[in-house]
């Protein structure tokens, strides 16, 4: 096999944020607008060329044992399926997916691991000129499959890391995190390819927010920054009811086929909600209205958006329970992300006191829901090579992998 030199790096660390959708999930799949922002909770990936004959993928969030392929099997797969390595984003074809089945046998029974490793394999075999031995580990501070964009942040991390390992994007040192627009677009486009493997038919909003960070109105690939978003505060609550975005998106598709004349106006209504939200933020920026006025408007939008999503068939009794429970304290909640379980967001008013927030959270926890504390509008993807003498970094990384929620300042800088 011809040897192709990889960049002279010891290892790369990549991170990408999760996201929260305030308005317009599902409608965004049909070209309507969604209002979304990045979260302070991130997914991290560490990658290194090993020089040996194996590709090792560790996904400790979803799979206890490492997934491994030897280079001969990968080379045969690449050769027999005419995979031409290029940085031009290319979707996984049905033929290539079918051919990959023997490579996925060992993890077929682990929920989620099949799609995550298929996405990885597709990107790896598309971007590497010749299969090379590498080791990859992905770990997230986000709940997986709970509506906070874990799949998108996973996709952005593997896209950025594999592009960087192949020299398609520059590898900054830790202190320099300036990426140019072309590089970010390439990462976002490949992350979208990966999301398609995981989701089936994603709109692209989740990977866009994870790549670029901040808050935006997203419509069909167009991103408009929304500056007012950072002044909005939420409680994010995980129902801990597992859900799968691919299945929820498919359910809405089927309902739309069955009841088009009913579903289409609901999609238009969600566009109206996102437009109204954008107008409220615009008026706030012009100082035409106060934050309190914005929140009063938002409360109605949160209620209406949730009920429309419920009519689309993507609520769940646990999400309705969160709405009921928070309503007792005058707070409005809606599902966020794909629904069917996963997370709800509860809008806080500017005058909602800390005591009340704590009381609501403790009631939610008493019902076995899990509440998250995090910020919104954080930076998007970051990747950097680790110093060659990276023992300290490796110790920190291993610690993070073992203790998922560890608050590690160095990691949060990337
Ligand atoms: N840390 C991770 N490690 C490995 N695979 C992951 C990780 N995070 C996400 N995934 C992949 O993404 C799948 C979950 O994606 P899914 O879109 O259903 O949920 P989500 O992205 O958390 O929610 P939403 O799409 O509603 O925001 C997992 O089953 C797995 O295939
Ligand atoms: C349900 C959905 O609208 C959001 C999932 O976070 C799907 C998508 O936009 O790809
Ligand atoms: Mg997802």
Residue pair 226/377 in contact by the 8 Å Cβ criterion: no
Cα 296 off chain centre by? 29
Residues 47 and 154 reside in one and the same domain: yes
Within a 10 A sphere around the Cβ of 87, how many other Cβ atoms? 16
Residues 389 and 248 reside in one and the same domain: no
Residue 29 beta carbon below 6 angstroms from any ligand 1 atom? no
Q: Residue 197: nearest ligand to its CA?
A: 1
196 CA from centroid of ligand 3 (Å): 10
Residues 322 and 267 reside in one and the same domain: yes
Provide the ipTM. Answer: 0.99
Residue 137 beta carbon below 6 angstroms from any ligand 1 atom? no
Measured CA to CA in angstroms, residue 402 lies from 59, 134, 141, 148, 407 at distances of 12, 21, 12, 22, 12
Range of the domain at 314: 232-376
Measured CA to CA in angstroms, residue 194 lies from 28, 160, 188, 331 at distances of 18, 11, 10, 37
Cα 207 off chain centre by? 6
Residue 5 lies in a domain: no
247 CA from centroid of ligand 1 (Å): 13
Side-by-side strand order, sheet with 370-372: 332-335, 343-348, 233-238, 370-372
Q: Residue 203: nearest ligand to its CA?
A: 2
Residues 215 and 155 reside in one and the same domain: yes
> So what's the pLDDT on residue 313?
98
Q: Which of 150, 153, 206, 274 is catalytic?
A: 206
> What is the per-residue burial (b if ≥16 Cβ within 10 Å, else e) of 132-167?
bbbbbbbbbbbbbbbbbbbbbbbbbbbbbbbbbbbe
> So what's the pLDDT on residue 3?
37
Residues 214 and 124 reside in one and the same domain: yes
149 CA from centroid of ligand 1 (Å): 7
Ligand 2, residues 17, 27, 29, 236: which to mutate, most atoms within 8 A of Cβ?
Answer: 29
Residues 302 and 347 reside in one and the same domain: yes
pLDDT under 70: residue ranges of the chain: 1-9, 82-84, 173-177, 387-394, 403-414
Residue 132 lies in a domain: yes
Is 175 part of the annotated catalytic residue set? no
> So what's the pLDDT on residue 2?
32
H-run or E-run covering 236: strand 233-238
Q: Any idea what the CATH number is for the domain that residue 327 is in?
A: 3.30.70.890
Residue 69 lies in a domain: yes
Give the pair of three-digit tokens for residue 278: 């954008």
φ, ψ dihedrals at 171, nearest 5°: -110, 95
Ligand 1 atom nearest to 338, measured from its CA: 26
Ligand 2 atom nearest to 24, measured from its CA: 3
Q: Residue 146: nearest ligand to its CA?
A: 1
pLDDT tens per residue, range 132-191: 999 999 999 999 999 999 999 999 999 999 999 999 998 876 555 678 999 999 999 999
329 CA from centroid of ligand 1 (Å): 32
Residue 240 lies in a domain: yes
Is 412 part of the annotated catalytic residue set? no
Among residues 384, 410, 380, which one has the least CA distance to residue 397?
A: 410
The span from the first CA to the last CA of the chain, in angstroms, equals 35
Residue 75 lies in a domain: yes
Residue 6 lies in a domain: no
Residue 177 lies in a domain: yes
Residue pair 108/179 in contact by the 8 Å Cβ criterion: no
Residues 260 and 344 reside in one and the same domain: yes
Ligand 2, residues 39, 220, 337: which to mutate, most atoms within 8 A of Cβ?
Answer: 337
Ligand 2 atom nearest to 205, measured from its CA: 9
> So what's the pLDDT on residue 172?
77
Residues 195 and 280 reside in one and the same domain: no
Among residues 316, 304, 193, 324, which one has the least CA distance to residue 251?
A: 316
Give the pair of three-digit tokens for residue 49: 């060329």
19 CA from centroid of ligand 3 (Å): 10
358 CA from centroid of ligand 3 (Å): 29
Residues 222 and 256 reside in one and the same domain: no
Residue 2 lies in a domain: no
Residues 185 and 200 reside in one and the same domain: yes
Residues 45 and 179 reside in one and the same domain: yes
Residue 245 beta carbon below 6 angstroms from any ligand 2 atom? yes
Radius of gyration of the chain (CA): 21
Number of structural domains in the chain? 2
Residues 57 and 185 reside in one and the same domain: yes
> So what's the pLDDT on residue 4?
36
Residue pair 191/243 in contact by the 8 Å Cβ criterion: no
Ligand 1 atom nearest to 21, measured from its CA: 27
- Sign of torsion over alpha carbons 393, 399, 403, 408: negative
Q: Which of 15, 33, 151, 333 is catalytic?
A: 151
Residue 337 beta carbon below 6 angstroms from any ligand 2 atom? yes
Report the alpha-carbon distance of residue 36 to residue 108 in Å, rounded.
Answer: 33
Predicted TM-score (pTM) of this structure: 0.94
């Amino acid at each position: 096999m011809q040897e192709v030199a990889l960049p002279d790096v010891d290892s790369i660390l990549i991170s990408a944020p999760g996201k929260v959708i305030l308005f317009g999930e599902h409608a965004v799949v049909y070209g309507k607008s969604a209002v979304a922002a990045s979260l302070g909770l991130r997914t991290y990936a560490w990658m290194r060329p090993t020089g040996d004959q194996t590709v090792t993928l560790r996904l400790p969030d979803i799979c206890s044992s490492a997934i491994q392929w030897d280079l001969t099997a990968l080379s045969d797969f690449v050769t027999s399926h005419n995979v031409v390595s290029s940085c031009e984003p290319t979707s996984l074809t049905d033929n290539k997916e079918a051919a990959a089945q023997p490579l996925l046998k060992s993890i077929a029974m682990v929920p989620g691991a099949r799609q995550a490793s298929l996405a990885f394999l597709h990107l790896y075999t598309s971007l590497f000129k010749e299969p090379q031995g590498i080791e990859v580990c992905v770990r997230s501070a986000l709940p997986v499959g709970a509506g906070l964009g874990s799949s998108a942040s996973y996709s952005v991390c593997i896209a950025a890391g594999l592009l960087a390992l192949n020299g398609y994007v520059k590898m900054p040192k830790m202190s320099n995190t300036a990426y140019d627009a072309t590089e970010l677009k390439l990462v976002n486009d490949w992350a979208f390819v990966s999301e398609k493997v995981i989701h089936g038919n994603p709109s692209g909003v989740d990977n866009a927010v994870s790549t670029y960070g901040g808050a935006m109105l997203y419509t069909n690939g167009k991103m408009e920054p929304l500056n007012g978003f950072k002044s909005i505060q939420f409680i994010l609550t995980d129902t801990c009811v597992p859900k799968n975005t691919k299945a929820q998106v498919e359910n809405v598709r089927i309902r739309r086929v069955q009841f088009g004349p009913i579903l289409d106006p609901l999609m238009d209504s969600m566009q109206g909600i996102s437009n109204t939200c954008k107008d409220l933020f615009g008026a706030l920026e012009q100082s035409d209205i106060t934050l309190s006025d914005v929140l009063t408007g938002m409360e109605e939008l949160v209620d209406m958006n949730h009920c429309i999503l419920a009519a689309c068939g993507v609520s769940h009794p646990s999400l309705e329970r969160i709405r009921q429970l928070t309503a007792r304290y005058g707070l409005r909640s809606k599902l966020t992300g794909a629904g069917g379980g996963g997370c709800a967001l509860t809008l806080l008013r500017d005058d909602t006191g800390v005591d009340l927030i704590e009381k609501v959270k403790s009631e939610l926890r008493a019902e076995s829901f899990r509440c998250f504390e995090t910020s919104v509008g954080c930076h998007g993807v970051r990747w950097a090579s680790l110093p060659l003498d990276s023992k300290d970094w490796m110790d920190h990384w291993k610690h993070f992998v073992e203790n998922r929620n560890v608050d590690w300042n160095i990691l949060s800088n990337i």
